[in-house]
Amino acid sequence: MQTPTFPDDFNLADYFLFDRCAEGRGQATALRYGNHAYSYEQVAERSKALASYFVQCGVRPEERIYTVLPDAPPFAWSLFGSFAAGAVVAMGNPHAPVSDLEYVIEYSRASVLITTDLAAQALCDYLSGEGGRHLRALLLVPDVATGEDAEGHVALPDFGDAGFEVLPLTEALKIGQRAQASLPQTKRDDVCMWLFTSGSTGRPKAALHCHRDFAFNTEVYAKSTVGYRAEDISVSVPRLFFGYATGTNLFFPFAVGASVGLFSERPTPEALASAIEMYKPTVITNVPTMMGKLLEHDDALRAQGNEGLDMSAVRFHLSAGEALPPALYERFVERFGGEVYDGIGSAEMFHIYASNRPGDVKGGALGKAVAGYELKILPRDAEGPGADPVADGEIGVLWVRGDSVAMGYFQDRDRSWQTFHGHWCRTGDLFKKDAEGYLWFAGRDDDLFKVSGVWVSPLEVETCLMNHKSVSLAAVIKVEDEGLNKPKAFVVLRANAQSAASPELVKELQEHCKNTLSKHKYPRHIEFLSELPKNDRGKVDKKALAKRS
């Protein structure tokens, strides 16, 4: 396909939102939140009013606006209003530890913080002191559950004489509507959004992205590869502050005039089942862990004599964020039908650059390069993209080139030089390519560890365990045993096998690994858990597991 290009004067608020109104879709439903619905015109009006407020209160182009909101409609006009004002969006989890929010407020020097009244109360002491020195405004929305009014009454914490405005987001909208401030013209290569790394080592860093990055991936992946349609209704397991879901459950549907169904509760199988029943989605943004939990939930419903989950309206699920084991993929598709398009992306590239796709799905693989991206699998010690690729079937580090590549990391040039090489990005993900050209994930370069002098990939052991009939989920880490590195597995059993947790099952699982893998790779220790801990990106939190060991 021809690589998409964009004009020099360019803004994502136009591309994703205002252009839908200009195309005559202003009255189409853009957002649903319980029984509340918002048309594209209503979202556009609020976004323009908020952009006007930002300009009126002194926010200058490229200053950061930190949006820390649940999956509720104000999230949409907070983002699009920020884009329209020429500001830079940073996003955070309203349920994150207060120390994490304080870190980003300081790191970003945010001019505006948009969050819930509950989160603001937790930040009160910090913002009343030095933490609020960069703020011009603190805008608040109510901390409500799906179905309640996300634009209702806000409890305003007392910040005293903090030196910045504190007011409900709804009041800021009214001020902006009255001000009718002139909005700046942005360029396609203006920085417009920070996407944070997962912080597997140290604090998360922000990858700097410009307007064109998001439009480019939308054109080549959302529209041309998986095929979002105007009649689609999307729902997401990951929360909107995570770039994976920002794309799949806000940007991509809006780019084609589709509808988004939101729910603000923690994404449990029960909450997702309720959202599926309420919105009848055609596209679900999923993650492997939730796919396993949905199967268990469905089994439990049927065991109680109830009907199972009805996903008959779903055209496809998207999967990313962690490896989708072939056994789980097969079980999921066999039970629920539809297709699952597993893919790989990163904060450094904004979104997915290799994926399965309609009519071309290979279970367990991550498909092929999205048109518009170039991929290479290079030796782990390659110093640049010019190195010779590894042979098919051999494992190396994936490098990717495409027009959504970030400019670098904020305040970290050393790490930027290690990751970004001109148009190329060294992902740090280990892959191999089969004879047909399909990509197979082999873990993270920094996850590997040696046992008896030989490299072990945790993913390989996890996949082996999840092929056992009793195992639903597994995570493997390195532990020290008598001064030596050994694999330890944390295992979640299927519902029908939970009563079997025992030393005998530990031995059975170890023998299963010994008979399938090289013997040095089997887990020396196995611990059964009811669920695996997750970080705020929805990935298994192996740092939390390491603290248990």
pLDDT in tens, 509-519: 999 999 988 88
Task: Measure the CA–CA gap between 29 and 260, rounded to whole angstroms.
Answer: 8
Q: Which amino acid type is present at position 60?
A: R
Longest dimension (CA), the chain: 72
Q: Which CATH architecture has domain 449-548?
A: 2-Layer Sandwich (3.30)
Q: How far apart are the first and last CA of the chain?
A: 50
pLDDT of residue 453: 73
Q: What is the fold, at CATH topology level, of the domain defined by 207-444? A: Rossmann fold (3.40.50)
pLDDT of residue 199: 53
pLDDT of residue 119: 96
CA distances from 27 to 18, 31, 71, 510 (A): 12, 11, 22, 59
Q: Looking at the domain covering 12-187, what would its CATH class be?
A: alpha beta
pTM of the model: 0.88
pLDDT of residue 450: 78
Task: Measure the CA–CA gap between 283 and 29, rounded to whole angstroms.
Answer: 16
Domain boundaries, the chain: 12-187, 207-444, 449-548
Task: Measure the CA–CA gap between 433 and 146, rounded to whole angstroms.
Answer: 43
Give the closest residue to 384 by CA, choosing from 420, 428, 347, 430. Answer: 420
CA distances from 96 to 52, 77, 241, 290 (A): 29, 22, 11, 20
pLDDT of residue 1: 64
Reduced 3-state DSSP string for 124-181:
HHHHHCHHHCCCCEEEEECCCCCCCCCCCCCCCCCCCCCCCEEEEHHHHHHHHHHHCC
- H helix intervals, 376-518: 413-419, 458-466, 503-516
pLDDT of residue 141: 97
Q: Which amino acid type is present at position 319?
A: S
pLDDT of residue 517: 87
pLDDT of residue 132: 92
Residues β-bridged to residue 450: 455
The answer to whether domain 12-187 and domain 207-444 are alike in fold is yes
Residues β-bridged to residue 360: 357
Task: Measure the CA–CA gap between 390 and 421, rounded to whole angstroms.
Answer: 19
Residues of the chain with pLDDT under 50: 200-201
pLDDT of residue 544: 87
Contact 458, 466 (CB under 8 A): no
CA distances from 191 to 61, 279, 293, 412, 420 (A): 9, 35, 38, 16, 17
**Phi/psi at 387 (5° precision):** -65, 160
